Amino acid sequence: MTGILIDPGKCIACRACEVACEREHGRSFITVFEFEGSAVPLNCRHCEKAPCIEACPTGALFRDKDGAVMVDVKKCIGCDMCLLACPFGIPEMAGKIMVKCDLCPERRAEGKLPLCVQTCPTRALTYEEPNEFSVRRRKSYAERIALRRAHDVPQL
C-alpha cells in the first residue's frame, strides 16, 4: 500500500508541507512538530489496520483503491468516535463532518503526488510503498557507514 512516509532525519521544519496542504485543501492536515535534534511532519498515517474505520458507527470511513482512508461525507455524523480510536489524534471536525488528510485524491487521479510530498524540498516526505522506503533507508545507512570507513572516521 502506497502512503506518505516520513524521514525525520531529513525534515528541516520549513513547514512548506503545511503551506502546500493549506493551498490544496483550504486548511492544513499536516503539522510539523519540532523536537531537540529532529523535526517530524505528521499527517494521517492511513493505517493498514485502521482503528478509525473499525470505530466508525455509520460506516463513513473507507479505504479507496490507492489505500487512502477516506471519509464519506454523506454518512459521517461527526460523532468523534474515530478521534477516540486514532492513536495519532488526527481527525478534526469541520462543523458536523470529520476532516483529515485524504492524500489529495484529485492529484492522484491525474497521476500526481500528494502536494505536501511534491513540495517537500528535502524529500523528508515520500509517497511510496513501506518496503521501498525501508530498502532505501537501509541503503543510505549502509552508504554512511561505508563513507565513514573510507575516510577513516571513528565509529560512533
Partner 1 sequence: MFPNFDWEKCIGCIACVRTCRGGALSYTDREGIRTITFEPGLCDGDLLCLEVCPVGAIEPSPKSSGDSATFPLARCENCGKLTDFTVKEVEWGKERGLFDVFLCPECRRVESAKRIGEGFE
Interacting residues toward partner 1 by CB under 8 A: 6-9, 31, 33, 35, 37-40, 42, 51, 55, 57-58, 77-81, 83-91, 96
Contact call for residues 104 and 5 (beta carbons, < 8 A) = no
* Least Cβ distance, residue 111 to partner 1 (angstroms): 28
Contacting residues for 51 by C-beta, under 8 A, at least 6 apart: 85, 86, 87
**Containing H/E element for 40?**
strand 38-42
User: Cell 516526505 identifies what position?
Assistant: 125
Residue 126: strand pairing partners: 5
Q: How many residues does the chain have?
A: 156
The closest alpha carbon to 75, from 90, 62, 93, 89, belongs to 62
CB closer to partner 1 out of 47 and 107: 47
* Minimum gap (Å) between residue 112 Cβ and partner 1: 25
CB of 77 to partner 1, least distance (A): 4
State in angstroms the smallest separation of the CB of 133 from partner 1: 13
Q: Which is nearer to partner 1, 88 or 112 (CB)?
A: 88
In this complex, which beta carbon is closest to partner 1, that of residue 91 or of residue 114?
Answer: 91
86 vs 108 by CB, closer to partner 1: 86
Could you tell me the smallest distance in angstroms from the CB atom of residue 121 to partner 1?
18
Q: Give 109 or 156: the residue with its C-beta nearer to partner 1.
A: 156
CA distance 81 to 90: 12
Q: Please, what is the end-to-end C-alpha distance for the chain in angstroms?
A: 35
